Amino acid sequence: MTLEVRVPQLPESVADATLVVWHKKVGEAVARDENLADLETDKVVLEVPAPASGVIKSLDKTAGTTVTSGELLAVIDEQTAGAAPKAPAKAEPGKPTEGRKPSAATTSAAAAPKKEDAAGKLSPAARRMVEENRLSAGEIAGSGRDGRISKSDVAHHLEAAPASQARQPASGARVDQRVPMSRLRARIAQRLVEAQATQALLTTFNEVDMQALIALRARYKEPFEKRHGVRLGFMSFFAKACVEALRRFPVVNASVEGGDIVYHEYYDLGVAVSTDRGLIVPVLRDADRMDFASIEKAVTGFAERARAGTITIEELTGGTFSITNGGVFGSLMSTPIVNAPQSAILGMHKIQDRPVVVDGQVVVRPMMYIALTYDHRIIDGREAVQFLVAVKESLEDPARLLLQV
């Protein structure tokens, strides 16, 4: 009995996908639910599980092909599921096996991993890194499932390799490398250009004295982690501060549809997460109903699943307002771009000790610049500035978040 493996049903927001890599070849055995291939959409990488155990009879699409929902990918022969290659007879001690003795070349070839097999176990980000550094995938140890090679595995290989083994271009050579954009990177580029072209974007800045918030976090982070099982970070405070500011200035939580302004009476906050494949923005649904622990757990879960490539498209869809934190990479100040069709985004930045004037005295305080980029078509400067001031006040006096004042 043969079974067809087809492209899974893609969500409405995703028209097609790219077949990135096959993990099996024709004639190879496969177990039920084992990953056969990776499909890359403009948001996530999807795995194609085997519907049953058997042997791959045919692969009907090649790597790099664009596919749509329902298209035939492969055929599995379920009848040969139990067939296993016959094991060679064991040689008695001191007695050579019958038949021709394998040559040294054959023995070394069998012992060495095949380059094609190793290349098939590369994640998309690792594949690009291998190509950019002109490495051999067979020389890299994979830490993932079934020996899959991740970007971090390639980075560790590069760090461990002696400088003499580094593959350098010939002396004086001028080398260009042309690497096609991943679907995610291409989609990010498209959306950013569309946002710049269709919205009247403007950015306003302010700065936050983080001393009270840092002291509060230091005081309660251990009991918080002990009780809730998650670390207390700054993102939950910023999320709560933004929700309170959005309540006061609902137009910042609105969006433009044609000639209408749509005021969203719920607060779905997008939280930007950096991955090997690019920046994605999973969404905290009904953030106003979440407590600090729920926000921290959700954000931590997003980050883990995003970097593992298991985050769902539903988690990346929607959102009424976004927060991005460039401070984790050392950014002191930036102008984030709105994630359309949203109308505003808050940018967090690096906390840095700076001299400031407090009560007529120059003191050193941990300061953070915050930025609000907004669509000036519907959000006036007064509302944008007041929104940012409201966020600043909540963070400088965290008791406001508890009392909602």
d(CA 142, CA 120) in angstroms, rounded, equals 12
Least-confidence region, from 131-140, 253-262, 320-329: 131-140
What are the backbone dihedrals phi and psi of residue 38, each rounded to the nearest 5 degrees, phi first?
Answer: -110, 130
Task: Answer yes or no: do 41 and 145 share one domain.
Answer: no
Which residues make beta-bridge pairs with 351? 368
Q: Could you tell me the CA-to-CA distances from 110 to 103, 121, 140 in Å, in that order?
A: 11, 18, 17
Task: Answer yes or no: do 221 and 156 share one domain.
Answer: no
Structural domain includes residue 15: yes
Structural domain includes residue 173: no
**221 pLDDT more than 60:** yes
For residue 320, give the DSSP letter: S
Task: Answer yes or no: do 241 and 146 share one domain.
Answer: no
pLDDT at residue number 162: 54
Q: Could you tell me the CA-to-CA distances from 197 to 192, 284, 303, 336 in Å, in that order?
A: 9, 27, 30, 15
HSE (CB half, 13 Å, CA atoms) of 200? 7
Task: Answer yes or no: do 137 and 213 share one domain.
Answer: no
Average pLDDT over residues 341-368: 95
pLDDT digits (tens, 9 = 90+) for 337-349: 998 899 999 999 9
Structural domain includes residue 142: yes
pLDDT at residue number 130: 76
Determine the structural domain holding residue 73 and report its residue range. 1-81
Q: Of the candidates 376, 187, 334, 348, which has an alpha carbon nearest to the alpha carbon of residue 272?
A: 348
Q: Catalytic site residues?
A: 376, 380
Task: Answer yes or no: do 158 and 193 share one domain.
Answer: no
pLDDT at residue number 206: 97
pLDDT at residue number 308: 77
Query: Three-state SS for 256?
Result: strand
Task: Answer yes or no: do 128 and 66 share one domain.
Answer: no
**207 pLDDT more than 70:** yes
pTM of the predicted structure, to 2 decimals: 0.66
Least-confidence region, from 38-42, 347-351, 353-357, 390-394: 38-42
**12 pLDDT more than 80:** no
Task: Answer yes or no: do 219 and 352 share one domain.
Answer: yes
pLDDT digits (tens, 9 = 90+) for 61-113: 888 788 888 888 888 888 654 444 444 444 444 444 444 444 444 444 444 44
Structural domain includes residue 93: no
* CATH number for the domain harbouring residue 34: 2.40.50.100
d(CA 89, CA 87) in angstroms, rounded, equals 6
Task: Answer yes or no: do 287 and 158 share one domain.
Answer: no
* CATH number for the domain harbouring residue 215: 3.30.559.10
Task: Answer yes or no: do 215 and 133 share one domain.
Answer: no
Pull the structure tokens for residue 100: 């021709």
**Cα 343 to chain centroid, rounded:** 23
Task: Answer yes or no: do 306 and 355 share one domain.
Answer: yes
Structural domain includes residue 101: no
Q: Model confidence at 268, in pLDDT bands (50, 70, 90)?
A: very high
Structural domain includes residue 116: no
Structural domain includes residue 96: no
pLDDT at residue number 151: 67
Task: Answer yes or no: do 258 and 366 share one domain.
Answer: yes
Identify the domain boundary among 26, 52, 81: 81
Structural domain includes residue 115: no
Average pLDDT over residues 309-334: 88
pLDDT at residue number 116: 46
Task: Answer yes or no: do 267 and 344 share one domain.
Answer: yes
Burial profile 44-63: b = 16 or more Cβ within 10 angstroms, e = fewer: bbbebebbebbbbbebebee
Least-confidence region, from 154-158, 191-195, 202-206, 260-264: 154-158
Identify the domain boundary among 81, 110, 136: 81
Residues whose CB falls within 8 Å of the CB of residue 72, separated by 6 or more in sequence, listed in order: 4, 5, 6, 60, 61
How many structural domains comprise the chain?
Answer: 3
For residue 360, give the DSSP letter: T
